[in-house]
Structure 1
Amino acid sequence: MSTTVAIIPARGGSRGVPRKNVRRVGGVPLVARAVQAALAADGIDLVVVSTDDAEIAEVAAVAGARIVHRPADISGDTASSESAVLHAIGQLEAEGVEVGVVAFLQATSPFIPSAALADAVARVRAGEADSVFSAHETFGFVWRRDADGQASGINHDASHRPRRQDREPHYLETGAFYVFTAAGFRESRHRFFGRIAVAEVPEWSAIEIDDEHQLRIARSLAAMHEAPHPIAVRAVVTDFDGVHTDDTAIIDASGGERVRVSREDGMGVALLRHAGIPMLILSTEVNPVVRARAEKLRVPVLHGIDDKEQALRGWAAENGLDLDDIAYLGNDVNDLPAMRIVGWPIAVANAHPRVREAARVVLTRTGGSGAVRELVERVLSA
C-alpha cells in the first residue's frame, strides 16, 4: 500500500531571520511545530524533514521526524523547495517506501491547522483533487502599481464599490501546506497541477515568518490562540527575584533588604514537594534573603550564579534529569540562557518582552503574586 508522507524542507541558512527554523514560537522551535502538526493530522503515515543542518536534524528527530540529509547543491539560497521534496521522495523510494501522496509543509508557517491538513490529505487520497493548498478567504480589494506609480484594480473595478456581502470571495495562499499526488508531482515538478483545490484555514493562522517583526507577531499570536495546557515535567527550576518576589526591595538603614513574597506560592511549593517533584531555586543574587526563603520553602538553592545555563545543566546531570523534562520559570533577560535549553521555558506575566517571546508558556500571574503557584498547579494537573 502506498504511503502518505509529510515532507518539511528546512535548510540551515536564512538571511532574514538567522537560524530561523530552530527559532521558537510558543517555546517550540519552528521545525518542531511543523513536525507536530503533521504527526497530529490523520492520514499521514510518515513525517520527514529534509535538511542540511545538524541542529535542525536533531530538533526534528526529537519531535518525531525521520531525517533526509539534503546535499549541498540543493541547499543554497537559490534552491527551490520542489527540488528538496523531489530529493526526499527519491531517497525514501530508494529505501523501499512507496510514496503515493505528499504533504509539503513549510516550517516558516508556525500555525499549521492539523484538521485542515488531514482534510486535504483525504481529498487527494480519495481522488477528489490532484493538488490542494492552504488558503484563507478574503474580500480585500487588490491593487497594482505601474512603473509611473499609478494604481489600478486587479480583482475589482475601482469605480464600483459593492458591499462585502455582494462581492465574490477570493482565496489568499498561506504557504503553510500543499498536498498532492507523488506521481503528478514527479511529472510536473511543481506543487500545482491537475485538479487544484483549496483547503480553507483561519486567517489568523496565515502568518509566514520571513523577518524578525513577523517572528514577534507569531509569538504574540501563540500566546493569544494556543490554549493553556498541562505542563508535563519531572522537575521545576525557578529564578528568585521577580518570580518568587514582585521584584522590589525595601532597604533598611543598615543596608539590609526585605522582599515581598506570596503565601500562595509557599503552599504551591509544598504541594509540589508532596508530589515528589524536584524543585530548585537558581539565582544570581547573593543576598541572604534568597537562602532564607529557600530554607523556609525547604527547596535547594544555588545563588550567586553568573552562568545559569551551566549551573542548570550540572544540576540536571547530578539528578539524572533530561533537560526536556524541566520547566524553568523566569522573568528577566539573565534567565534566557537557561530557558533556551529546557523543554518548558515559562515566563511570569510581567516578564521582560524578550523573556515572554522565548517562553513556551506565559503565565497569567505576575512575580510575587502567585506565579509559582500557577505553574505548580499546571505541573500537577499533568
Structure 2
Amino acid sequence: MAEPHPEPHDVAVAIIPARGGSKGLPGKNLMRLGGVSLVGRAVAAARAARSVGTIIVTTDDEEIARVARAAGAEVVDRPADLAGDAATSESALLHALDERYAHAGDAPPVTLFIQATSPFIDPSDLDAAVARVASHEADSVFAAVESHAFLWRAAGDGAVFGANHDAAVRRRRQDREPEFRETGAFTAMRTAGFRAARHRFFGRIAPQLVPALHGVDIDTAADLVVAKALVELIDRPAAAIDVDAVVTDFDGVHTDDTAWVDTDGRELVRVSRSDGQGVARLRAAEVPVLVLSAEENPVVAARAAKLRVEVLQGVRDKGPVLAEWAAARGIPLERIAYLGNDVGDLPALALVGWPVAVADAVPAVREAARVVLEARGGAGAVRELAELVLAARPGAPAQNPSPRTEHEGALA
C-alpha cells in the first residue's frame, strides 16, 4: 500500500546551526537587525514556512539557546568538538538529526539547512525549495542568485585571465547563459540522501533563485552595514504585534517632545486623545501598560494617572528597571513591546521582543526598532501601536472606525 502523503507542515525539519564563537564578527548570531536577532530572524522564517514542522537550533551557547527557545525553536546542545572553527555545518546537522530522531526513519523526508547569518529569507522560497526535493525534482536545492558577472582569476605572475569568459570576446549579457551564485541562506536536502552522502550537495543539485537583495550573508562588519541599509526596504510592515505587555517612554512618545513653560516654571505638554483611547483599549483587553520615563516632572505621573496605567519615572537606566518590572509580573521580555524615540530608550529596546520607534525617532532608535510607526510622537503613535497589539488578539473590542486625533493639555 502506498504511503500517505505527509501533511504540509510535516514535510521538512529545519535545522539552524548557530554557534557562539565567531572570530570574524564576534557574537554575530545574536546581533540584532531590524530589532530582531539573526538567529531569531532565521527561526521566524522557518516558522512562517508551510512545509516546516520541527525547527531545531543547534548551538553551544546558552544565550543563543535561550533566544532560540523564546523564538519558538527546539534546541540541541552542540558538543565542543562540533563547535570549533574547523567543524563543518554538515557535522552539526547530522548530530542534530541523530539527537532529535531516535530512528533514521522518524525524520521528515526533507532536511532544510537554514543559515542564521542570512537575514532576508522569504518563507515562500523555503517552501519552494522543499517542494522541489519532496517532488523528486532534485535531491539538493540551494539558495542562489543569478550572475552574469565577468570573473577573473590570478595567473600566478600578477596577471589575470578570464575564469568564465574569453577576454577577447565580450558577449552581451543576453547572449550569455546565467551562472548561479550560492547565497548560503538555505539548502533543502532529501534526508536519507544527506545522511548517506554526509554532505549537503549530492545527487541531482538545483538552484532555488531568490531576489538579489535577499542574497546578503553577514560575515563581516561591512556585510552588517549593507544589511542595516536594506532592512527597512525589505522587511514588511507588521500587520500585528503579538505581545503580553506594552511599555512606553513619555516625552517624545506620548508628547511631541516639546513643552510650554509658564512664568512660575511649570511645564505643560500636549498629548493625544487618540493615544488615550488606544491605552483604554489595551486596558479593556487586559494588556498591561507601563510608562517608563527618565523625566522627573509630575506631569508624567499626572498623565499616567489619567490613563490609569503604571508609571515609573526618574529612571536613568531603563534596561534593568524594565527587566525587574517584567520579572516581577512573570512577563517574558520577548513578549513585551517597548515604544521609544531617543537614545535613552536604547537599553530597553535591546531587551524586548518588539522594539518599536515613533516615526520621528532619532536614527539610532529607528535602527534598533523592529517596527517604525507611521505616527510621530504625541500624534497618535501610542494609538497606532495599540491597534497593532490588539490586531493579534481576536477577542479584543472592535477598532473604532475614526480614531480621534485631538490633543489635550496636561498640567504639572
Q: What TM-score do the two structures reach when normalised by structure 2?
A: 0.83
Unaligned runs of 5+ in 1: none
1:254–1:186 CA distance, 2 compared to 1 (3 A): same
Q: Where has structure 1 moved over 6 Å in runs of 4 or more?
A: none
> Which of 289, 292, 295 matches 2:302?
292
Task: Identify which range, 343-352 or 198-207, moves more after superposition.
Answer: 343-352
> What do residues 69-113 of structure 1 show as CA deviations (whole Å, max 9, x unaligned)?
111112112221122122223333446663443221111111222
Task: Quote the offset at 1:238 in angstroms.
Answer: 0.4
State the Cα RMSD in Å.
2.6
1:170 corresponds to: 179
1:340 aligns with 2:338: no
> What do residues 231-261 of structure 1 show as CA deviations (whole Å, max 9, x unaligned)?
1223211001221223334555554444443
Counterparts of residues 26-65 of structure 1 (less than 5 Å):
26-65=34-73
1:128 corresponds to: 137
2:75 corresponds to: 67
> What do residues 120-174 of structure 1 show as CA deviations (whole Å, max 9, x unaligned)?
2222233221211110123333334555554443333344444433332221111
Contact between 1:220 and 1:357, CA under 8 Å: does it hold in 2? no
> What do residues 3-27 of structure 1 show as CA deviations (whole Å, max 9, x unaligned)?
7432211101122333221222232
1:179 aligns with 2:174: no
1:348–1:216 CA distance, 2 compared to 1 (3 A): farther
> What do residues 25-47 of structure 1 show as CA deviations (whole Å, max 9, x unaligned)?
23222222222322333333422
Task: Quote the offset at 1:318 in angstroms.
Answer: 4.3
1:364 partner SS: coil
1:47–1:381 CA distance, 2 compared to 1 (3 A): closer
Aligned partners of 1:213 and 1:368: how far apart in 2?
36
The aligned length equals 382
2:121 corresponds to: 112
Contact between 1:216 and 1:357, CA under 8 Å: does it hold in 2? no
1:87 partner SS: helix
The alignment-based identity, stated in percent, is 59
> Which of 146, 157, 164 matches 2:166?
157
Aligned partners of 1:232 and 1:222: how far apart in 2?
21
Whichever residue aligns with residue 267 of structure 1, its letter is Q
Contact between 2:60 and 2:79, CA under 8 Å: does it hold in 1? yes
1:77–1:126 CA distance, 2 compared to 1 (3 A): same
Counterparts of residues 1-382 of structure 1 (less than 5 Å):
4-94=12-102, 98-99=106-107, 100-147=109-156, 149-228=158-237, 229-382=239-392
Task: Identify which range, 333-342 or 147-156, moves more after superposition.
Answer: 147-156
1:253–1:146 CA distance, 2 compared to 1 (3 A): farther
1:5–1:166 CA distance, 2 compared to 1 (3 A): same
Whichever residue aligns with residue 52 of structure 2, its letter is I
Aligned partners of 2:100 and 2:332: how far apart in 1?
32
Aligned partners of 1:267 and 1:319: how far apart in 2?
24
> What do residues 156-193 of structure 1 show as CA deviations (whole Å, max 9, x unaligned)?
33444444333322211110111223343344332212
Task: Identify which range, 257-266 or 113-122, moves more after superposition.
Answer: 257-266
Aligned partners of 2:47 and 2:300: how far apart in 1?
44
